[in-house]
């Protein structure tokens, strides 16, 4: 469904000064009464996009540096700094959420800060960024799609494009025009805590899905409902030694290009408007200061015309003095600095560096031009405020149905002895495991918070509820442990990982928890048919644990629509998912990737049974 972002409205044609006088007095974020989002969206409908070169010509150095600065709304010392420092972008870090976390509070928040930006001399709108990495998932009530590792198993770029489009519409429902997604990392070592954020271990998957997701998020040129995408993290984030988050990727340039670059080439070709630099190093050298890769390869060779944004406070992790960190990053080709904690220092230091000639004015103009062009492309002058026409998109039945489809297609059937699956709907099932009825666990990280958490994080259908709904004419008993199995025809055991994000998910060893292993052992001991459902952000070595169980279905981090899992278990959908990672036999076999010289995984890359 398409929604017009251009509307015929009561305030159309009102001059900017009147607008600022009327609405520029909104005080603290999100709490004071003021014009409705509808009035605001309407009041600005007539401001045309300026000529970017002309605008650039009018800007002072301070205004240009402001455009290159991104702050976090909650961590900012004073949100009025948006106005005072001419800040060009505001983000909500994944922990900087409005309270209560309701869509209308997001709308108020974005509106309030945008109002400040528009009250500046040139009235350049900010571009608000968020981590909508599996749907607009930081917002409670949004549709939560499977994390990318599952999307990779679908091998279905058309589906990824639809998911991107739905995510964009749900973002527009909260007035946010920029997502730090897709993550197109190629995770080569599953001990990395961000393995689930990438589409899979091969450049082939990153390439195929990056382009599709970018197209879905940004829309075709001329379509009204796109948001700016951001491919991340450039370059080699998934290749670090030992799978260490923000670590060192040690390899030749040839290997770096062969494994980690194809996704970027595809994303650039698909028109991606922004790219985030990786926290990681390449052969010891920090990516944020790598002029060769950012400027020569990405902007030169690949002809990337969008802007490059730094990762969260990453410039501050560079070696050297404060000034030399900024000098190195900006001269390497970083256009916008994500500096939630150090923005005041960034602004004054960059001004000093330009005055001293250590950062050329031409570099500043290039950065600002790139940023303004994306703002123009996504029509932020015409539509700086949330448009209420999108409100009903958030968590809509259509998007939930799409997410259910994505869950079905991402599930991979690893084992199915004696064709125990699909289960008959009219049988008697004993369902065990605390992870069967936990929305937070099935959504994983980056869901209504940074690391994610257990429990009722957002509305949706848990795996338990989905199985109960689907088992028409049958009996489903849910128990924390394997007791009362006598009457059951089969035991379904739901096990897996607890939520985590970034480095909090780094592990030396992978595997199931002791409790999960005991549950499976008890189920096997009952003599009943045992079906294991794995909820996980990466392959876990489980060779011994699953010996003796009849079926294993890995559903990754499926998100809010557990119905897709039930669809596969009961055969309403015959599994088609193919592994996006090689499945190791043991932790000591990691890293293991398709094409390795000696390759003997438990299940190879691309494996997946059907019925
Ligand atoms: C992550 C990025 C994310 C950014 C903003 C960083 O810690 O590495 O992937 O986009 O935070 O939340």
Residue nearest to atom 7 of ligand 1 (CA): 312
Encode pLDDT of 224-255 as tens digits: 789 999 999 999 999 999 999 999 999 999 99
Vertex 169 angle, CA 164 and 173, to 5°: 145
Active site residue 245: no
Q: 318 CA to middle of ligand 1, Å? A: 17
How far is residue 106's CA from residue 29's CA, in Å, rounded to a whole number?
10
Q: Which domains are seen in the chain, by residue range?
A: 16-393 (3.20.20.300), 411-589 (3.40.50.1700)
Q: 234 CA to middle of ligand 1, Å? A: 12
Q: Is omega for the bond preceding 422 within 30 degrees of 0, making it cis? A: yes
Selected catalytic residue, list 502, 506, 561, 567: 502
Q: Give the bridge partners for 535, in sequence order.
A: 496
8 A C-beta contact, residue 73 and residue 89: no
pLDDT at 40: 61
Q: What is the model's pTM?
A: 0.94
Residue (of 128, 131, 139) closest to 182 by Cα position: 131
pLDDT at 75: 97
How far is residue 194's CA from residue 204's CA, in Å, rounded to a whole number?
19
How far is residue 569's CA from residue 573's CA, in Å, rounded to a whole number?
8
363 phi and psi angles, rounded to 5 deg: -65, -40
Encode pLDDT of 262-314 as tens digits: 999 999 999 999 999 999 999 999 999 999 999 999 999 999 999 999 999 99
Active site residue 311: yes
Residue nearest to atom 11 of ligand 1 (CA): 312
Q: What is the dihedral of CA 89, 95, 96, 99, to 10 degrees?
A: 150
How far is residue 345's CA from residue 351's CA, in Å, rounded to a whole number?
10
pLDDT at 24: 34
pLDDT at 36: 64
pLDDT at 32: 41
Percent of the chain with pLDDT over 70: 92
Encode pLDDT of 300-339 as tens digits: 999 999 999 999 999 999 999 999 999 999 999 999 999 9
598 contacts: CB under 8 Å, gap ≥ 6:
none
Encode pLDDT of 162-205 as tens digits: 999 999 999 999 999 999 999 999 999 999 999 999 999 999 99
Give the single-character DSSP code of 603: B
For the chain, the average pLDDT equals 93
């Amino acid at each position: 469904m398409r929604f017009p972002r251009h509307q015929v409205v009561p305030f159309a044609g009102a001059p900017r000064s009147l607008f600022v006088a009327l609405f520029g007095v909104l005080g603290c974020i999100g709490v004071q009464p003021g014009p409705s989002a509808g009035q605001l969206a309407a009041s600005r409908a007539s401001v045309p996009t300026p000529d970017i070169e002309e605008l650039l010509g009018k800007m002072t150095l301070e205004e240009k540096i402001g455009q290159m600065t991104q702050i976090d709304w909650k961590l900012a010392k004073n949100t009025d700094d948006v106005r005072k420092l001419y800040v060009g972008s505001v983000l909500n870090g994944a922990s900087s959420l409005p309270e209560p976390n309701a869509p209308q509070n997001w709308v108020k928040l974005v509106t309030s800060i945008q109002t400040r930006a528009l009250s500046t001399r040139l009235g350049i709108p900010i571009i608000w960024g968020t981590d909508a990495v599996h749907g607009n998932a930081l917002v409670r009530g949004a549709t939560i799609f499977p994390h990318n590792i599952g999307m990779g198993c679908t091998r279905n770029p058309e589906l990824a494009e639809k998911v991107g489009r739905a995510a964009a519409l749900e973002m527009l429902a909260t007035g946010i025009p920029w997502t730090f997604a897709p993550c197109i990392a190629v995770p080569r070592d599953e001990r990395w805590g961000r393995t689930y954020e990438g589409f899979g271990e091969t450049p082939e998957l990153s390439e195929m899905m990056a382009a599709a997701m970018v197209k879905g998020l940004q829309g075709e040129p001329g379509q009204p409902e796109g948001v700016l995408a951001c491919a991340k993290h450039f370059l080699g984030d998934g290749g670090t030694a030992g799978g260490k988050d923000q670590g060192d990727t040690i390899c030749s340039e040839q290997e770096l290009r062969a494994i980690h670059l194809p996704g970027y080439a595809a994303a650039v070709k698909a028109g991606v408007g922004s790219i985030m630099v990786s926290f990681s190093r390449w052969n010891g050298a920090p990516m944020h200061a790598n002029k060769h890769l950012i400027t020569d390869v990405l902007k030169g060779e690949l002809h990337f015309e969008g802007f490059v944004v730094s990762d969260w406070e990453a410039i501050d992790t560079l070696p050297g003095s404060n000034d030399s960190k900024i000098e190195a990053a900006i001269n390497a080709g970083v256009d916008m600095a994500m500096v939630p904690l150090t923005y005041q220092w960034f602004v004054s230091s960059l001004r000093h560096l330009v005055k001293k000639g250590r950062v050329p004015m031409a570099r500043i103009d290039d950065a600002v031009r790139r940023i303004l062009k994306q703002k123009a492309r996504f029509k932020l002058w015409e539509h700086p405020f949330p448009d209420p026409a999108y409100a009903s998109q958030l968590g809509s039945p259509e998007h939930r149905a799409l997410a259910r489809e994505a869950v079905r297609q991402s599930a991979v059937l690893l084992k199915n002895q004696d064709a125990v699956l699909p289960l008959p709907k009219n049988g008697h099932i004993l369902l065990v495991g605390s992870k069967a009825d936990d929305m937070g666990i099935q959504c994983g990280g980056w869901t209504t918070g940074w690391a994610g958490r257990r429990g009722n994080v957002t509305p949706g259908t848990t795996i338990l509820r989905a199985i109960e709904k689907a088992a028409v004419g049958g009996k489903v008993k849910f128990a924390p442990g394997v007791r009362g199995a006598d009457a059951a025809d089969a035991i379904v055991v739901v096990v897996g990982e607890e939520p985590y994000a970034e480095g909090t998910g780094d592990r030396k060893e992978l595997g199931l928890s002791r409790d999960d292993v005991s549950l499976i052992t008890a189920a096997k001991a009952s003599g009943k048919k045992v079906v294991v459902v794995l909820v996980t952000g990466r392959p876990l070595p489980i060779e011994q644990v699953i010996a003796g169980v009849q079926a294993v279905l890995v559903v990754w981090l499926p998100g809010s629509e557990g119905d897709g899992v039930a669809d596969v278990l009961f055969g309403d959908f015959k599994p088609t998912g193919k592994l996006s990672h090689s499945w190791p036999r043991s932790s000591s076999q990691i890293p293991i990737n398709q094409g390795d010289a000696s390759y003997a995984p438990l299940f190879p890359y691309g494996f997946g049974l059907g019925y």
